[in-house]
Amino acid sequence: MPPLALAALLAAAVAMGVSPVFVREAGVGPFTSAFYRVFLALPALAAWAAWERRAPRSDGTPVVDPGWTRSILLAGVFFTVDLFFWHLAVLHTTIANATLLATMAPVWVMLFSLVIGERVTAAMTLGLAICVVGGALLVGSSWHLAPERLLGDLYGVATSVGFGLYFLAVRVARRTASTGIVLLRSTVVTAALLGIVAAVAENRWIPGTLGGVLALLAMANVSHVGGQGLLGWALGHLSAAFSSLVIFLEALAAAFFGWILFGETLGPWQFAGGAAILLGIWIARPREETPR
């Protein structure tokens, strides 16, 4: 397993895991904050893509631009689905339910990995099962199944489907395009779609404080450019199935930031859940092929 790619996944989890902190401080509606997350990231992503076009590959050959491929377009659509239903889930069910259901995205990635020609090993399946248990422990007693929150729980499932399909689309896109090009073009699609959603659903576009503006800028450049960018780079080197387990690390990072910044309680079950997630990822790690 490439150690640099694994380090990128870990850093991506931290960068994406801190996004709820920025959303809480943004001072605008949830769909508007989701729009700003991607829209304000476009200048940095454009610079990234332009730099990649000028910089040759390690073998000296120039970077090939495949254009607006179907996988890039689908990555933008699926990320829109992920963010749209995530915010609906938060509004219609508990944060714990929404978080746990959203972390089920690796299940969909592993179910559909064969569609993109990638094999899922028994170790990955076992690692996923352990991570799911860890995610449930991390949420702990906050999880509640109630009929009046069924719609919100279904939104949480839709979130996981959207993010899972996003992983698969980016993995395919990275086979022919560089990270910056994939992220820039898919983000243009997401920003256009979320801009329409925010315009229809909400009417507050300007944060009330300087802190809100800074939170939106940080969410765009830390969580999207940094988090999604590092994830996109890693998906050029690691399978979608293994990389998708970063979602559990994202939940772990979010719990950590909630504890550090907002004093949210972490008990023995949450620590056990975090340990289970790390164990599951270690079990699922790619192995070197044994020479015959």
User: How far is the C-alpha of 99 from the C-alpha of 207, rounded, in Å?
Assistant: 26
Rounded to an integer, the average pLDDT of 116-120 is 87
User: What angle separates helix 19-26 from helix 30-39, to the nearest 10 degrees?
Assistant: 120
Joined tokens for residue 6: 């694994």
Per-residue pLDDT tens over the stretch 22-31:
877 888 888 8
User: How far is the C-alpha of 102 from the C-alpha of 100, rounded, in Å?
Assistant: 5
Identify which of 141, 150, 144, 132 has the alpha carbon closest to the alpha carbon of residue 247: 132
* Band of pLDDT at residue 272, cut at 50, 70 and 90: confident
Name the average pLDDT for the chain.
Answer: 83
Residue in the block written with tokens 């714990």: 96
Contacts of 260 (CB under 8 A, 6+ apart): none
Give me the helices (H) in 93-218, please: 95-102, 105-112, 122-139, 150-173, 179-201, 210-218
User: How far is the C-alpha of 292 from the C-alpha of 289, rounded, in Å?
Assistant: 9
Per-residue pLDDT tens over the stretch 203-242:
888 888 898 899 999 999 998 999 899 988 988 888 888 8
Which DSSP helix (H) or strand (E) runs through 190?
Answer: helix 179-201
Identify which of 288, 228, 222 has the alpha carbon closest to the alpha carbon of residue 76: 228
Per-residue pLDDT tens over the stretch 6-55:
888 888 888 887 777 787 788 888 889 889 999 999 999 999 999 888 87
Q: What is the pTM of this model?
A: 0.83
- At residue 292, the pLDDT reads 33
Rounded to an integer, the average pLDDT of 133-160 is 75
Rounded to an integer, the average pLDDT of 134-141 is 73
User: How far is the C-alpha of 54 from the C-alpha of 241, rounded, in Å?
Assistant: 32
Q: What is the DSSP letter of 130?
A: H
User: How far is the C-alpha of 244 from the C-alpha of 85, rounded, in Å?
Assistant: 18
